[in-house]
Amino acid sequence: MIRFVDLRRQYEYIKDEIDQAIARVLRRGRFILGEEVAAFEQEFAAFCGTAYAVGVGSGTDALHLALRACGIGPGDEVITVSYTAVATVRAIELAGARPVFVDVDPRRYTIDPAKVEERITPSTRAILPVHLYGCPADLEPLLQIAQRYHLVVIEDCAQAHGALYKGRRVGSWGDIAAFSFYPTKNLGAYGDGGAVVTNSAMLAERVRLLREYGWAERYISSIKGVNSRLDELQAAVLRVKLRYLEAWNARRRQLAEMYQEYLAEGVSRWGLMLPEEPEDARHVYHLYVVRHPRRDALCRFLRERGIETLIHYPQPVHLQPAYADLGYPEGSLPVTEALSRHILSLPIYPELKDEEVAMIAEAILAFFRRAS
């Protein structure tokens, strides 16, 4: 069986370093906001090309606290996409604000800058682009719109660790950005974790306060915060993995190139659509997502042959039952809705073997040959 992701392979590759890092924390006996978190924050900020990084409990928390640090709350609107993980939208609501959806670019699968300006109202406070699947959103036009209307730009980088837009890492473009370290991410912990990055000393300090009850000094809350701290064990694991991230991203790109080559016949003969890398970006392929109207049949065919796939995401947020009250009926975001009906995520992770990619691609072509 070819699993969608196999984290055991990664652990076996770096086992000695991981075990030593965990043992170091256990010997030290400090597990919350200690040396490992402080060191990781410095190292991750340097990696992202930002002045500051603040470790928090999850990617959702990173977005939530980034929004709150920017002063966004009840009565405010945040422009974002429905074509994303629900965490993006929930974080906006946790801050007390209202998500306002625009459609996505059909090539990048990220927020369409041409659709943003028409949704700006006097209540709009921020634009929140999502760098989905590892592909950077088109940031420059968004930043121009934000400057024109005095809006904050908050990047959702949960799937794009190390991705580049016009030669700079995502996370370094907006006012503030959020990362997730969920175990399957390009940079993943062995549990939940997240980080907020920014070049603003004021915003970084505000996130530090918010992540621990608003404490400027212990047990004294200067603002109303929460409990959302990246723990020492996860920070130690992330420090090890960060050293490998560039090589792992390079391997993901190599695997994506193999898929592109092997599946070229599917594109030319049967209308299979493959991911595109924009000329202004470096995609890091957190997910390798193909598109075809017969997605469900293809998914079943691959499963019968021992190949795991997933759908990211089977239903856009605006059509999910919990979010019906936002007022976006079916048909309101046509590109988003069409993508959700046709997309399929194939296995892609650094430890995936060349021969496994060949097997997956051959199974996909066999599906189309049988049907033609």
Identify the structural domains of the chain with CATH numbers, from first to last.
7-102+109-242 (3.40.640.10), 245-371 (3.90.1150.10)
Average pLDDT of the segment spanning 257-264: 98
Q: Tokens 């003969």 map to which residue? A: 269
**For 325-363, how does the pLDDT look when each residue is reduced to its tens digit (9 = 90+)?**
999 999 999 999 999 999 999 999 999 999 999 999 999
What CA dihedral angle connects 355, 357, 363 and 364, to 10 degrees?
-160
- DSSP-assigned letters across all residues of 169-195: ETTSSSSEEEEE--TTSSS--SS--EE
Residues 62, 116 contacting (CB under 8 angstroms) = no
Among 235, 240, 184, 247, smallest CA distance to 20 is for: 240
Please give the Cα distance from 271 to 265 (Å, whole number): 9
Residue 371 has pLDDT above 80, yes or no: no
How far, in Å, CA of 217 to CA of 223, rounded? 11
CA distance 308 to 56: 31
Per-residue DSSP letters for 263-274? THHHHHHH--B-
Mean pLDDT of 30-39: 97
Instruction: Enumerate residues 6+ apart whose C-beta is below 8 A from 157.
Output: 131, 163, 170, 171, 177, 178, 179, 197
- Return the closest-CA partner of residue 228 out of 51, 38, 35, 64: 64
Is residue 2 within 8 Å of residue 348, measured between CB atoms?
A: no
pLDDT band, residue 174 (cuts 50/70/90): very high
CA-CA distances (angstroms) from residue 247 to 10, 110, 234?
Answer: 13, 25, 21
Burial of 249 (0-12, 13-18, 19+ CB in 10 A): buried
- Round to the nearest angstrom and report the end-to-end CA distance of the chain: 26
Average pLDDT over residues 231-252: 98
User: From residue 289, how far is each of 59, 123, 128, 322, 372 by CA, in Å?
Assistant: 22, 35, 22, 26, 23
Residue type for 55, please? Answer: G
Distance separating alpha carbons of residues 345 and 326, to the nearest angstrom: 28
- For residue range 281-310, what is the model confidence (pLDDT) as tens digits? 999 999 999 999 999 999 999 999 999 999
pLDDT of residue 2: 98
Closest CA to 192 of 180, 177, 207, 210: 180
Residue 321 has pLDDT above 80, yes or no: yes
Q: Report how far residue 196's alpha carbon sits from residue 186's, in angstroms, rounded to the nearest whole number.
A: 16
pLDDT at 372 over 90: no
Phi and psi, residue 102, nearest 5°: -125, 160
Q: Quote the mean pLDDT of the chain.
A: 98
- Phi and psi at residue 154, in whole multiples of 5°? -115, 115
User: Do 255 and 356 form a contact (C-beta atoms < 8 A)?
Assistant: no
Residue 307: phi, psi to the nearest 5?
A: -115, 115
pTM, two decimal places: 0.98
